[in-house]
Structures are given as C-alpha cells and as structure tokens.
Amino acid sequence: MATPERCPSQDDKVLLFGLLSDTCARLERRVDSDLKSECDLPLAWFETLLSLRRSPSGRLTMSEIADETAHSTGGATRLVDRLVSAELVERISCPTDRRAIHVTITGRGNDALDRALARHVDVLQTAVGESLSNEERVVLHTLLTKLRQSL
C-alpha cells in the first residue's frame, strides 16, 4: 500500500486534472442548459455551427467536424444529420473530389448562431467574467493553449 505522501491519488497532476475536468463539465452543463432553454440549441449544435462559421472556406468535411467537436466520425455524422433535419446546415458535394462531402451553414443556421452567441456571451460573462479578472483570463488562456498544443 502506498504511503500518504506517495499516494498517486494526491499527486498534484491528478488533482489538477480532476479540477480541470470537473470545472469544464460544470461549465458545459451550464452553457448547454442555457442554450437549450433560451435558444433551443444544444451545445453540440452550437459548437458545430460556430466551427463552420470560423472555417475560412465556410465549410468543413465530416472528419474536420469530428475533430473540431471531439466526436467520433460516426457521432459527427449523426450530429450533422440532426442539424440538416433542423435546416441549420446542408451537405454539399466537393467539386474536386466526388467522394468528399462538405457541410455548410445555412441562413437559418447563421440566424440561430447569432442569437445563441449573444446569449452565450452573457452566460460566460456571469460564469467566467465575474469570477476572473482580465489578467487571470489571459493567464488561463495562455496556460490552456500551451497544454492543448502538447496533446
């Protein structure tokens, strides 16, 4: 049996991971709940629409959507199926590769995203902006970016 000072469950990296994971899960639940109730837009849909808008070409492949939203390719396909049914995105054939399908945001999707973004910023102001100073947010951004790049 490990001694208390060598117990892996008390390792600072294990504790930090737990804190980061729990904080992220709580924030995601809060944002998801608010976006669903106020905008009728689940967080996964919001993230997908936002990824499409941020894309320089205005379109993404299914594998790019999967990567952007941390879904499997099958999960991304089911997600896009629901977004297509809601008329928020559409699938288009790639002009240079008949096998590839791109996903683009529709006008209705852009309108839904605009409404959700306004609400999202309000929720984040309450959840993050009122808890951390500008300087703390900059430091947190820098640290999370550094950590993400190493993964």
> Residue 63 is part of a domain; what is its CATH number?
1.10.10.10
Q: Which domain holds residue 111?
A: 41-149
Is 69 inside any structural domain? yes
Instruction: Return the minimum-mean-pLDDT range out of 1-5, 49-53, 146-150.
Output: 1-5
Is 54 inside any structural domain? yes
DSSP 1: -
Is 9 inside any structural domain? no
Long-range interactions of 83-90: CB distance < 8 A, separation 24+: 83/45, 83/48, 83/49, 83/109, 86/45, 88/45, 88/49, 88/112, 89/48, 89/49, 89/52
- Write the pLDDT tens digit of every residue in 111-145: 999 999 999 999 999 999 999 999 999 999 999 99
Q: What is the amino acid identity at position 1? A: M
Is 29 inside any structural domain? no
- Write the pLDDT tens digit of every residue in 65-113: 998 888 888 889 999 999 999 999 999 988 788 788 899 999 999 999 9
The structural domain count of the chain equals 1
Q: Is 25 buried (19+), middle (13-18) or exposed (0-12) by CB count in 10 A?
A: exposed
Is 14 inside any structural domain? no
Is 45 inside any structural domain? yes
* pLDDT the model gives residue 5: 63
Is 7 inside any structural domain? no
* pLDDT the model gives residue 3: 57
C-beta of residue 122 within 8 angstroms of C-beta of residue 98: no
* pLDDT the model gives residue 141: 95
Is 20 inside any structural domain? no
